[in-house]
Structure 1
Amino acid sequence: MQRVQRRTLAVLSAAQIVGGVGVAVGLALSSVVVDELSRSTVISGFAGTATVLGAALLALPAAKASGRGGRRAGLSLAYTAALTGCVISVLAISLRNWPLLLAGLVLVGGGSAGSLAARYSATDLSPKDRSARHLSLVVWASTIGSVAGPNLAEPADRIGRSLGMAEKAGPFAFAALAFALAVVIVLVLLRPDPLILARAGTRTEDPGRNRTIRTAWHTLRTTPTARHALVMIAVSHTAMVSVMSMTPVKLHHDGSNLDVIGLVISLHIAGMYVLSPLVGWLADKAGKVPVLVLGSALLLSAAALAGTAGHRVWQVTAALVLLGLGWSCGLVAGSALVTESVPIERRPAVQGLSDLLMNVCGATGTIVAGAIVGLLGYGMLGLMVGIMVALSGLWLTAVWRRTS
């Protein structure tokens, strides 16, 4: 079983790297292309919203497919949706049709849905004392695609134009190839299927009964630990995307150039992913709940630093690094706790609902954050996020002490 799990982790990591390249390449220019086609800065903002919405909408279908046919079915569905979205995007750019491009970007969100589902796939065959570490290794693999992807957008555009494609269609065509390769990796190499193999030794009920959102809600109502973990995942993600999404705007208004903004966001992404294996090891050794509390403390510190940064770029940078680390603690420890708290037959449904709520909260967070910064300023955003994180951290600590 250990050999099968090592192979599973390697295959999932490979799919994560390739799929991550597809997500990063496809999204590197999405808002720019929508802005050019629509000639509206306001509409360009819907590019990011479309992909987050797509990730949320595809989370449950991918989970349902996993519940019915195993992880290969769920992951291939997500990546195939992203592939289809990239093809639609290439067509939309050629036709200079921005509504069609937004529709394509919704499907491109399947790449993010697949990336999130892959982390859960890593835990199906994990021993309980190593679930967070195994999950974190697949999360860490996202670093490679996230860093490499944007740097491939320019050469992909040049190659696309040399082949007769419309300007900026090349990156989406390249992303389509990346998602196609991710589908092949999953379908051909993810054998035996980890979820099906895990069920073979523990199945106690018909998986066909556990494909619906109703089952997921029922499981969460009767499993407080999973419910608490899901809340902390949602809070961590909302806090992260709320501050992160408005930081480039804040830096731009302060006079920072694109190189500085890019460096700050790159360091933020490094905070999110680079140390995730260490976070996973700590969650397995010290416990998932303590790491969730640690994540809340890091997010609170990040919000405080960001909210009081003023025009100090170094302080904003430090805040974004801590923001990434806090998010990593929340995602890795929370996801592992969700997984180990529910029966194997119900995991896909609960995990799908977790990703759905996480992305819905993230999308809502970006909208609310924009309104707060527009009306009250970046400092007030830091205060509001800090209050949210502090209250959730205190609530989790109280629950943990009571149940202990």
Structure 2
Amino acid sequence: MGVRKGNGSESFVTLASERGRVHKRTLTVVIVSQILGGTGLAAGVSVGALLAEDMLGSEGLAGLPTGLFTLGSALAAYLIGRSTQRFGRRVGLAFGFIAGGLGALGVVVAAVIDSIPLLFLSLLIYGAGTATNLQARYAGSDLALPHRRGFGTSMAMVATTLGAVVGPNLIEPLGELAAAVGVPVLAGPFMLAAVAYGAAGIVLFIFLRPDPYLLAKRLAAASADNDPSTAHTSRLTIPRVGISAYVGATVMVLTQIVMVAIMTMTPIHMRAHHHGIAAVGLVIGFHIGAMWLPSLITGVLVDKLGRTPLVVASGVTLLTAGVVAATAPGDSLGMLILALVLLGIGWNFGLISGTALVVDATVPANRARTQGTIDVLIALSGAGGGAMSGVVMAGASYQVLALGGGILSLVLIPVLLWARRRSTP
């Protein structure tokens, strides 16, 4: 992108005129990559726990795959945040997806040769795709105007829906394809993930130009040059993040723990009640659709109604999901679908409202680093929730796990009260 030489005003006007065009192009590229990324994401969610149970021979360790790939996503989130701060969104997001594809390929090889160490290592690397899928939502808000940040985030997320819903419903045919080529049935979805993640990375690397984050930084710098009262301080100091960033982080961490814990053990619970793999794929497909599809509406609600009402809605919806999952008969496919749909919607409310809170409280100079750090916390909380979910279910029951997760989500409300008290002069 060419920028005219001259005084600061001319540079700022030129950059500002490019903002809308680049934002539209960014959303288009991110949408394509997120469709592919959603397909790759669905593999680990759908059959990761079942594959681990088969290879490890223990229900108590079935939550380990979710713990491992979310732990890997924590490391990836940190690296992507740091690389974005220096090099922009394109490099970090592209290589994050490619790494996730290599991890998925490693899972397939581990299943074929029955290697537990390779399975663990590959799941860690596969987590890079999960982290990248989440980090891409920030690309949708880099160039969005303040009153459109919820919409920008939601557009990046809603695109994940197509791939994420289609992926679980391909479990059975992918299993048949895997068996036909000598690969264990449950490794079939990871074959698709390897291709999908790799393709998403290539799309971003080639087409995410100009880089939205780098342009946002240049806009902020040009704006500061036009304002003599702030130019000096903005050049010498990086502003501290606002209190709403901590609130947003807490919201996203809590919703991640609750969602991952219940979601991870649902396929195990279903198989114990004699549901087939196609039914598992159907339930998880509805769940992932509910995680991503409401994003377009959620983004508008966050912008129109504000962040706080959607945070409260997240806590209430997650509580309802936990109660429905805990009280649903094990053989009731409809009730399990309802519980997992509510679980996905509650997570969606929390993630988009939390993301908007973080963007509101940051500036381009500190945004990418802050976002990366928060996504590390989200990934670590997901790792803990996934790993502990198997232990809780083995030691107690799925019902205790679901109800406990729902009650935990209510912590969101005192967090909001604390933030309001802190922000009151």
2:413 aligned with 1:396: no
- For 1:236-255, what aligned pairs fall within 5 Å after superposition? 236-254=255-273
Match of 1:226 in 2: 245
Deviations 1:152-208 (A, max 9, x none): 45555666677x66555665454333222212211111110000011111137999x
**Distance in 1 separating the partners of 2:337 and 2:115:** 37
Deviations 1:56-84 (A, max 9, x none): 12110011111110000110221121133
**Distance in 1 separating the partners of 2:190 and 2:142:** 33
Match of 1:117 in 2: 135
Match of 1:295 in 2: 314
- AA paired with 1:303? G
**Distance in 1 separating the partners of 2:25 and 2:104:** 29
2:165 aligned with 1:147: yes
2:204 aligned with 1:186: yes
Which residues of structure 1 form unaligned runs of 5+? Answer: none
2:307 aligned with 1:282: no
More displaced 10-residue stretch of structure 1: 384-393 or 310-319: 310-319
Q: 1:253 to 1:95 in 2, by over 3 A?
A: closer
Q: Normalised by the size of structure 1, how large is the TM-score?
A: 0.86
Which residues of structure 2 form unaligned runs of 5+? Answer: 1-18, 225-231
SS at match of 2:142: coil
2:88 aligned with 1:70: yes
2:27 aligned with 1:9: yes
- The alpha-carbon deviation at position 95 of structure 1 amounts to 3.7
Q: 1:383 to 1:161 in 2, by over 3 A?
A: closer
- AA paired with 1:392? L
- For 1:4-43, what aligned pairs fall within 5 Å after superposition? 4-25=22-43, 28-38=46-56
8 Å CA contact 1:296, 1:326 repeated in 2: yes
Equivalent position to 1:137, from 137, 155, 171 = 155
Equivalent position to 2:289, from 254, 270, 274 = 270
Give the number of equivalent residue pairs.
Answer: 394
Q: 1:81 to 1:303 in 2, by over 3 A?
A: same
Q: 1:227 to 1:261 in 2, by over 3 A?
A: same
8 Å CA contact 1:293, 1:397 repeated in 2: no
**Distance in 1 separating the partners of 2:122 and 2:82:** 22
- The alpha-carbon deviation at position 106 of structure 1 amounts to 1.1
**Distance in 2 separating the partners of 1:82 and 1:143:** 18
**Distance in 2 separating the partners of 1:312 and 1:300:** 22
- The alpha-carbon deviation at position 242 of structure 1 amounts to 1.9
Match of 2:70 in 1: 52
Equivalent position to 1:358, from 363, 368, 378 = 378
Give the number of the structure whose alpha-carbon radius of gyration is greater.
2
Equivalent position to 1:371, from 377, 387, 391 = 391
Equivalent position to 2:368, from 348, 371, 376 = 348
CA RMSD, 1 decimal: 3.1
2:404 aligned with 1:384: yes
8 Å CA contact 2:248, 2:354 repeated in 1: yes
- AA paired with 1:238? I
- The alpha-carbon deviation at position 7 of structure 1 amounts to 1.0
- AA paired with 1:286? L
Q: Normalised by the size of structure 2, how large is the TM-score?
A: 0.82
**Distance in 2 separating the partners of 1:138 and 1:344:** 19
Deviations 1:319-364 (A, max 9, x none): 3222211111000111111112111111111111111111111221
8 Å CA contact 1:297, 1:393 repeated in 2: no
Match of 1:101 in 2: 119
SS at match of 1:89: helix
Q: Percent identity?
A: 33
2:144 aligned with 1:126: yes
Deviations 1:265-300 (A, max 9, x none): 333223212211101100000111221111112112
- AA paired with 2:348? S
